[in-house]
């Protein structure tokens, strides 16, 4: 519904602009757009919250920002935009720092610091690991890995770096992630920007292993793609 409203809003604005240019109407579009443009942020938030509850966190942020700016433009109250940087961003950084500490303290934590690490050898053993890329990168080919039965939990953290993961088509994948000034792309579905948080899932075949992936990135990128094993 939100996408239809957004499309309709552009149609209305374009139509009024055209009519003004033709002299049919005299509607002051500048002040109108200047006042009500936060509706686009509100629609964005509603759209994210409607995506099967996968974008609730990001949706709430966009919705709150849009409502705050709209109320300020209408003179209903004062809204300090710097509140986002003074409160929300530090909270998210604390959350990300805690995730890094937990991942770094894991028994099988692996690091890529200002360098690249590739795991592509046929049959390399995959276990519940943490992969932390700091100004570096990981290239993980899980189609070549030996994936155990049951559930395997992976923690992926990219700080000014990148992590690429290729997963075979038969496994179940459950993924959640938070990005700050970065992006996470899972099976061509992305989340990114100043602050973004989402969940993704992809069913596999019956009886196949499950990959549960937790992603955090700041000023970096994480990409998870499926690979057709028959193409290898």
Number of domains in the chain: 2
Tell me: do 11 and 45 sit in the same domain. yes
Q: Report how far Cα 133 is from the mean position of its chain's Cα atoms.
A: 18
- Measure the CA–CA gap between 161 and 165, rounded to whole angstroms: 14
- Residue 88 domain-assigned (yes or no): no
Tell me: do 54 and 125 sit in the same domain. no
Query: Domain of 117?
Result: 100-231
Tell me: do 104 and 204 sit in the same domain. yes
Tell me: do 43 and 118 sit in the same domain. no
- Residue 90 domain-assigned (yes or no): no
Tell me: do 70 and 109 sit in the same domain. no
- Measure the CA–CA gap between 92 and 108, rounded to whole angstroms: 25
**Left (φ > 0), alpha (ψ -120 to 50) or beta: where does 23 sit?**
left
Q: What is the pTM of this model?
A: 0.62
Tell me: do 111 and 223 sit in the same domain. yes
Q: The tokens of 196 are what?
A: 């973004």
pLDDT of residue 113: 87
Residues of the chain with pLDDT under 50: 229-232
pLDDT of residue 135: 87
Q: What are phi and psi of 153, to 5 degrees?
A: -105, 125
Residues in contact with 161: Cβ distance below 8 Å, sequence separation at least 6, in sequence order: 112, 133, 134, 135, 136, 137, 220
Cα–Cα nearest to 130, from 146, 151, 111: 111
- Residue 20 domain-assigned (yes or no): yes
Question: Exposed (0-12), middle (13-18) or buried (19+): which is 203, by Cβ within 10 Å?
Answer: exposed
Tell me: do 194 and 152 sit in the same domain. yes
Tell me: do 109 and 192 sit in the same domain. yes
């Amino acid at each position: 519904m939100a996408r239809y409203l957004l499309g309709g809003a552009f149609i209305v604005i374009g139509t009024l602009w055209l009519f003004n240019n033709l002299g049919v109407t005299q509607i002051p579009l500048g002040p109108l757009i200047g006042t009500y443009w936060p509706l686009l942020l509100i629609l964005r938030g509603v759209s994210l919250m409607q995506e099967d509850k996968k974008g609730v966190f990001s949706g709430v942020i966009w919705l709150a920002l849009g409502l705050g700016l709209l109320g300020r433009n209408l003179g209903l109250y004062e809204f300090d935009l710097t509140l986002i940087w003074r409160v929300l961003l530090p909270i998210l950084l604390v959350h990300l720092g805690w995730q890094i500490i937990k991942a770094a303290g894991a028994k099988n934590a692996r690091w890529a610091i200002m360098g690249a690490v590739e795991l592509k050898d046929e049959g390399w053993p995959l276990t519940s690991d943490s992969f932390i890329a700091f100004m570096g990168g990981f290239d993980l080919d899980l189609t070549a890995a030996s994936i155990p039965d049951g559930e395997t939990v992976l923690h992926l953290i990219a700080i000014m770096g990148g992590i690429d993961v290729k997963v075979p088509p038969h496994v179940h994948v459950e993924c959640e992630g938070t990005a700050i000034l970065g992006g996470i792309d899972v099976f061509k579905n992305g989340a990114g920007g100043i602050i973004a948080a989402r969940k993704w899932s992809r069913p596999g075949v019956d009886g196949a292993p499950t990959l549960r992936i937790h992603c955090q990135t700041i000023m970096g990128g994480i990409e998870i793609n499926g690979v057709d094993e028959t193409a290898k």
